[in-house]
């Protein structure tokens, strides 16, 4: 493997594996996908993230061939796939319910797709054994789906959809049916398998943590539109809208008006009688434009005395403390009535905690900690 980072989306020469061009899908009056254009590159692990009903499942079903776009075209490896029926597409899907055939054994389930393409018998055997090894299911080959556990079923579904060497694998909420602990283990397994097989994965999920963990790029969707496509860290650190900032993780939003103060540096006035907040942000704003400062709770420090060097500091009173074991989240009410959340690691035992309810504290953060967003 080459050592340079895997970022084909930054390479103007790279040809996308999948290209959606102005795709719209309507069901009667309802628009499920609204004039959408995206590119997905080979070997990518691409996550479609959004609340239920945002159109992510429709998007995936159009790739599988179960839905056809009302307008626009979808290209797979440079070829328009509109006329290709689902059973002729080099695309396989792992279903949310797994859709394992209950009357067939694990082995037969994995071999199902291979038999359809008339592969020679011993080749089928070899390929199925290979998939069983990859998903660590060798011991369960003869069992029926109801004789194995939920996690094993999930792996059978994965093995079955990968067996045909698809150019593209679609995963519809692949971990939704597993309990939390198993889900976290399986996330890494999925990434591992994706890397080993080099298949392009498109995953649909409503679980932001899952999307952030597994994906090379995350597409945040809402109401049939893509709001932002970026790597997980970019999505988290520099969301492009209030919607994305709010959807991914926990965030404090402070409303105000921008005043340019040098290149990419702004002074945001947010409340009369308070000093403007210093923000460094790549998004351009004009003088007096309304904006929101989005800042993550873990980037806000909490202290008893006013820190001397901080770019921004405000005083407030502790309203609530959510103790989460490793960290605590402090809900601090400012004199303006706004509540800001700040997180601090619990490095000391709880009995020796520095702050408690009703304490007056200082909150502080640096100019680069937050990001300025338009409405």
Partner 1 sequence: MNRMSWFNAVSLTLGFAFLYIPMVILVIFSFNESKLVTVWAGFSTKWYGELLQNDAFLNAAWVTLKVAVFSSTLATVLGTIAAYVLVRGGRFMGRTLFSGMIYAPLVMPEVITGLSLLLLFIGIGLDRGVFTIVLAHTTFSMCYVSVVVSSRLVTFDRSLEEAALDLGCSASEAFRLVTLPIIAPAVISGWLLAFTLSLDDLVIASFTSGPSATTLPIKIFSAVRLGVSPEINALSTIMISIVTVGVITASLVTKHQVAKQKREEMEAVRS
Instruction: Point out which residues bind partner 1 (CB under 8 A).
Output: 64-66, 85-88, 91-93, 95-97, 99, 101-103, 112-113, 116-117, 143-144, 146-150, 152, 160-161, 164
Q: CB 147 → partner 1: shortest distance, Å?
A: 5
Which residues, in sequence order, are bridge partners of residue 203?
47, 171
For residue 86, the minimal CB distance to partner 1 (Å) is 5
Quickly list DSSP for 278-305: EEE-SS---TT-EEEEEE-GGGSEEESS
Of 97 and 360, which CB lies nearer to partner 1 in the complex structure?
A: 97
User: Residue 41 CB, nearest distance to partner 1 (Å)?
Assistant: 23
Three-state secondary structure call for residue 72:
strand
What is the spatial distance between Cα 261 and Cα 244, in angstroms, rounded to a whole number? 26
Helix (H), strand (E) at residue 22:
strand 18-27
For partner 1, give the closer residue by CB, 127 or 160: 160
List C-alpha distances in Å: 238 to 63, 165, 176, 322.
Answer: 29, 36, 28, 26
In whole angstroms, the minimum distance from the beta carbon of 269 to partner 1 comes to 54
Which two tokens mark 228? 């932002």
Smallest gap from residue 81 Cβ to partner 1 (A)? 14
Minimum CB distance to partner 1, residue 174 (Å): 13
- Contacts of residue 197, defined as CB under 8 A and 6 or more positions apart, other chains included, come to 134, 162
For the stretch 75-107, what's the b/e string if a residue is b when 16 or more beta carbons lie within 10 angstroms of its beta carbon? Answer: bbeeeebeeeeeeebebbbbbbebebeeeebbb
Q: How far apart are CA 35 and CA 21, in angstroms?
A: 8
Report in angstroms how near the CB of residue 120 gets to partner 1 at its nearest: 16
Q: Closer to partner 1 at the Cβ: 118 or 352?
A: 118
Q: What is the rounded CA–CA span in Å between residue 318 and residue 330?
A: 7
Between helices 121-134 and 180-197, what is the axis angle to 10°? 130
| Cβ nearer to partner 1, comparing 152 with 312 | 152
What long-range pairs does 262-269 form, CB within 8 A, spacing at least 24? Answer: 265/367, 266/372, 268/293, 268/372
Of 146 and 348, nearer to partner 1 (C-beta) is: 146
- Min dist CB 176 to partner 1, Å, is 13
Nearest to 39 by CA among 166, 216, 276, 181: 216
Nearer to partner 1, 161 or 281 (CB): 161
Beta bridge partners of 260: 266
The smaller minimum CB distance to partner 1, of residues 161 and 241, is found at: 161
First to last CA, the chain: 42
**CA–CA separation, 144 vs 135, rounded Å?**
16
Of residues 15 and 116, the one with the C-beta less far from partner 1 = 116
**12 or 85: whose CB is closer to partner 1?**
85
The CB-of-164 to partner 1 minimum distance in angstroms stands at 7
């Amino acid at each position: 493997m080459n050592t340079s980072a895997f970022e084909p989306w930054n390479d103007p020469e790279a040809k996308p594996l999948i290209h959606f061009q102005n795709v719209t899908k309507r069901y009667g009056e309802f628009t499920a996908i609204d004039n959408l254009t995206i590119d997905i590159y080979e070997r990518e692990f691409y996550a479609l993230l959004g609340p239920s009903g945002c159109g992510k499942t429709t998007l995936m079903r159009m790739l599988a061939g179960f839905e056809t776009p009302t307008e626009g075209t979808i290209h797979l490896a440079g070829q328009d796939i509109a006329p290709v029926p689902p059973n002729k597409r080099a695309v396989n899907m792992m279903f949310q319910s797994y859709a394992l055939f209950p009357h067939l054994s694990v082995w037969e389930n994995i071999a199902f797709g291979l038999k359809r393409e008339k592969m020679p018998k011993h080749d089928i055997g070899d390929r199925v054994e290979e998939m069983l090894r990859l998903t660590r299911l060798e011991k369960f080959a003869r069992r029926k789906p109801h004789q194995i556990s939920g996690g094993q079923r999930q792996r059978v579904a994965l093995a079955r959809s990968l067996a045909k060497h698809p150019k593209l694998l679609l995963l519809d909420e692949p971990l939704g049916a597993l309990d939390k602990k198993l889900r976290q283990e399986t996330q890494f397994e999925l990434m591992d398998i994706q890397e080993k097989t080099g298949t392009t994965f498109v995953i649909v999920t409503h679980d932001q943590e899952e999307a952030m963990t597994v994906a090379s790029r995350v597409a945040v969707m809402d109401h049939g539109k893509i709001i932002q496509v970026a790597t997980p860290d970019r999505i988290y650190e520099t969301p492009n809208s209030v919607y994305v900032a709010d959807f991914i993780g926990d965030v404090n939003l402070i409303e105000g008006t921008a005043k340019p103060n040098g290149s990419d540096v702004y002074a945001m006035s947010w409340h009369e009688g308070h000093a403007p907040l210093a923000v460094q942000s790549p998004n351009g704003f004009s003088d007096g434009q309304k904006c929101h400062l989005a800042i993550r709770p873990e980037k806000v420090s909490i202290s008893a005395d006013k820190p001397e060097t901080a770019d921004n500091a405000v005083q407030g009173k502790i309203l609530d403390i959510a103790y989460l074991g490793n960290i605590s989240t402090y809900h601090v009410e400012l004199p303006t009535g706004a509540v800001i959340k700040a997180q601090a690691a619990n490095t000391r035992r709880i009995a020796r905690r520095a702050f408690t309810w009703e304490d007056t504290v200082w909150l502080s953060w640096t100019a680069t900690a937050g990001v300025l967003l338009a409405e």
